[in-house]
Structure 1
Amino acid sequence: MTERAAIEGRPVDADARFMLHARYGHFTAMQVRDRRVRGLELHFERLEAASAELFGVPLDRAAVLGSVRAVLGDDVRDASVRVYVVETDRPHVIATAAPPHEAPSGPQSVKPVPHRRYLPHIKQASGMLQAHVGRLVAREGFDEALLTTEDGLISEGSITNLGAFAGGRLIWPDAPMLHGITMRLLERMDVPQERRPVKVADLPGFDQVFLCNSWGVWPVGRVDDVPLPQDDALMGRLHDHYDRIAWDPLD
């Protein structure tokens, strides 16, 4: 018989069945404003590297741009867009669009959770484990989870990268992680930077701890029940650099 599928008693079409099977792959997430995106070349590089590693084939950049343009249509100029590259019979490019998402406006709370991702350098299409970790800490009143080793060594957040300032230097955790697009853009700041092991116990000693992802950059106000120092000048430098990053056209 022909393959079929149904959701809550309703038969679904061929495209929906395809989506149900398309679980092996990777993706990138971006904020689109006025049909432009920050770091477009970095998004291409991420998709190309993951496609080569997972599928052993090159990425079709034209298919990526075509899918993004198609999901935006002629009328949508601002959106949260995801581009998936998933494999069934072969790799396919799928784009999704949702309402635009802005960064949180004030300091956020984080809770450490011992968890190590498999292939952490790849933004994986099946993100159930990270979503579960995020939901767990949200139930306890926290905004984000910090993924750590059992002894508290930080790698990243469940959907973010973590950075910190110490003595005028920008510090990034030296651990297996997803090298986020916004993190890569912030690495272009004209400020001394280094990677070093960072433990949860180190966070109160930093001048400013922050999180970043495609939404933007925002401060961390506390880890567990421990308040963290806040430095408006340092956050201002981060926002100034981020706000000056050029937006690349999608059309």
Structure 2
Amino acid sequence: MGAVIDGRPAEAGDVALAMSARYGHFTAMQVRGGKVRGLARHLDRLAGATRELFGQELDLDRVLASVRALEAVDASVRVFVCDAGGVRVIAVSDAPVWPAATPKGLKSVRYQRFLPHIKHTGGFPQGYLGRLAEREGYDEALLTSDDGVISEGGITNLGCFDGDRVIWPDAPMLRGITMQVLEAELARAGVPCGRRVLRVADLPGFPLVFLTNSWGVVAVDRVDDLRLKVDEALLARVTGCYENAGWDSF
């Protein structure tokens, strides 16, 4: 694992800085061959959240310099912008994560993230709920409101494909970078996207339900005690669109 702070390699004394950086936000990406999908979208996310949380502009050159200094070729990379004696940029790399080869199972839970449109560092509740779901034999938590309206997965976006149109939940959520990239590629392929209120009981009506995250796209085959269809042809269309997205150099 590598770490860079404000464009320079982290040192032993920086551990305390990283530990104190609790107020902030981040973006997560998969790097392959030193490139990433949707780089401009990652930078826009970081810049917009910095304005909202800190009331100032983010030095994007410092962000890029920090990622380059990781010298990551194939890796999982996260870039944090936090308040630690001033606005700081912390970039870390770890082993790459590859798309899952098998469908996922989700456990629905009643929880809504605070400021859901921001990928902020307050991830303890999602981590806790995700672990509870895993203990019950599921792969991830599916977040819903008190009246059962789906918003997003614990660390993913959920989409539904009816063969003509991709539907995302109409609820407060984080618009993930993979979701954004996929939407753009689907539009190029002539597949429209829309939003509607979705509940767990609606999901079996779709031939394909899927998740998106920095690691890619994966099908969902069960939510709670409901078994879902996985139309392999539709899954191939969705994943194929995402795979058509270009890669950007830092």
TM-score normalised per structure 2: 0.92
Structure 2: unaligned runs, 5 residues or longer: 1-10
AA partner of residue 92 (structure 1) = R
Shift of 1:89: 2.1
Shift of 1:13: 4.5
Q: Does 1:48 align with 2:71?
A: no
AA partner of residue 45 (structure 1) = D
The number of equivalent residue pairs is 236
AA partner of residue 67 (structure 2) = V
Q: Does 1:20 align with 2:19?
A: yes
Corresponding position of 1:144? 140
- Contact 2:99/2:217, CA 8 A, preserved across alignment: yes
- Contact 2:28/2:214, CA 8 A, preserved across alignment: yes
- Contact 2:163/2:234, CA 8 A, preserved across alignment: no
Q: Does 1:82 align with 2:81?
A: no
Q: Separation in 2 of the partners of 1:205 and 1:195?
A: 16
Runs of 4+ aligned residues of structure 1 deviating over 3 Å after TM superposition are: none
Q: Does 1:101 align with 2:97?
A: yes
- Contact 1:152/1:201, CA 8 A, preserved across alignment: no
Deviation readout 1:209-245 (Å, 9 max, x if unpaired): 0000100001001111211011111111111111110
The within-5 A match list for 1:31-180 is 31-72=30-71, 76-180=72-176
Identity %, equivalent residues: 54
AA partner of residue 52 (structure 1) = R
Corresponding position of 1:215? 215
Structure 1: unaligned runs, 5 residues or longer: 1-11
Corresponding position of 1:237? 237
Shift of 1:60: 0.8
AA partner of residue 39 (structure 1) = G
Residue from 177, 182, 186 that aligns with 2:178: 182
Deviation readout 1:28-70 (Å, 9 max, x if unpaired): 0000000000000000010011000000011111111111111
Shift of 1:90: 1.1
Deviation readout 1:67-116 (Å, 9 max, x if unpaired): 111122xxx41000000000022110000000000111111100100001
Q: Separation in 2 of the partners of 1:18 and 1:192?
A: 45
- Contact 1:211/1:217, CA 8 A, preserved across alignment: yes
AA partner of residue 243 (structure 2) = D
TM-score normalised per structure 1: 0.92
Cα RMSD of the aligned pairs, angstroms, is: 1.2
Q: Separation in 2 of the partners of 1:120 and 1:94?
A: 22
Shift of 1:14: 2.7
Q: Separation in 1 of the partners of 2:119 and 2:14?
A: 23
